[in-house]
Amino acid sequence: MRKTKRPQADVPRVPPKEAVKLYLIMLPVLIYIFIFSYIPLYGVVIAFQDYTPGSPFLFDPSIKWVGLKHFTQFMSSMYFWRLIKNTLVLSLYNLIFVFWAPIIFALLVNEIRPRRYKKVVQTISYLPHFISSVVVAGMVLSFVNADGIINQLRGMIGLSAVAYNNDPNAFPWIYTLTNMWKGFGFGSILYLSAISAVDNELYEAANLDGATRWQKMWHITLPSIKPTIAIQLIFAVGGLLSANSEMILLLYNPAIYETSDVVGTYLYRESLLGGKFSSGTAIGLFTSAINFILVFAANTVSKKIADFSLW
């Protein structure tokens, strides 16, 4: 909608009667968006109030305004730094390992010569994306528990069993590898489509100059997907404070909260299940504000270093 570049000046205005009809067509959608997007947006005000469960949502005249109380309470709570640390650690693992997997895989797939085989490899690599998180988590948990396949293999080489599902140190790796397995193939589509847009003459010219395969990949293919990488990287940095909490909720358990409890899961457990709605809204707002600042910062850095920015 932003990109409509139609000349507006010479278009006659739609007569009011017809305009009303057109608005009637989209009225259900407009009402829907007002209710489901704008009311919760306004509902954020309860972050600055003492909302008690059961009192009428939004329009309660007796409600108490408490300013930033819920924000300071969250930041001085005993779990605050643990949550921030866990969220950042998991996001960093994500940025270091999961982020690059689809890029490397795309470069690799691009070098496959037999066309049929290339198609098959791609199709297989998409499979994990279509398997639901619940099933993926269920499989992972059954693999890493004390009598799972990983410990069976350890047993075969004479090592004792370790219940990885209850080992706080193993969690970041389990989470990271799960995300990587689930996303590397599907994530590569974006990069492969960028690669396919490269002008073939570039490769032919490189061939005439006697460039090696590696040189072509490094000097033609990789630069061609640089803008795509930059966009994805900016978004990834912007999401530093929002780990994939849906997956964590499935994979974690109280024994490993020490490394697995992140802001998102804490919000769900303490605020939603615990009924601390005002504090939960404050935590949500806090996270979005920081993520917003991070996207902004990442964009500025990218503008300076790579001469590329989102806006």
Q: Which is nearer to another protein, 82 or 129 (CB)?
A: 129
**How many angstroms separate the CA atoms of 193 and 210, rounded?**
26
**How many angstroms separate the CA atoms of 115 and 118, rounded?**
5
The pair of structure tokens assigned to 228 is 């795509």
Q: Which is nearer to another protein, 92 or 272 (CB)?
A: 272
Closest CA to 290 of 298, 301, 280: 298
Q: Which is nearer to another protein, 28 or 67 (CB)?
A: 28
The pair of structure tokens assigned to 68 is 């930033």
C-alpha distances (whole Å) from 57 to each of 38, 63, 125, 268, 280 are 14, 10, 46, 19, 15
- Distance in Å, CB of 242 to another protein, minimum: 11
Provide the 3-class DSSP secondary structure of residue 31: helix
Provide the 3-class DSSP secondary structure of residue 241: coil
Provide the 3-class DSSP secondary structure of residue 269: helix
Q: Which is nearer to another protein, 38 or 81 (CB)?
A: 38
Taken as a whole, the chain contains a residue count of 311
Q: Which is nearer to another protein, 22 or 255 (CB)?
A: 22
Q: Which is nearer to another protein, 27 or 92 (CB)?
A: 27
Task: Name the phi and psi angles at 65, rounded to 5.
Answer: -90, 135
Local structure of residue 49 (DSSP, 8 states):
B
Greatest alpha-carbon span in the chain: 83
The pair of structure tokens assigned to 293 is 């600042």
| Beta bridge pairs of residue 49 | 65
Local structure of residue 55 (DSSP, 8 states):
S
Q: Which is nearer to another protein, 11 or 305 (CB)?
A: 11
Closest CA to 276 of 61, 22, 50: 50
Q: Which is nearer to another protein, 92 or 289 (CB)?
A: 289
- Distance in Å, CB of 207 to another protein, minimum: 5
Closest CA to 175 of 84, 89, 102: 89
- Distance in Å, CB of 92 to another protein, minimum: 23
The pair of structure tokens assigned to 20 is 């009303």
- The label of the residue with tokens 């795309």 reads 106
Local structure of residue 10 (DSSP, 8 states):
T
Q: Which is nearer to another protein, 176 or 281 (CB)?
A: 281
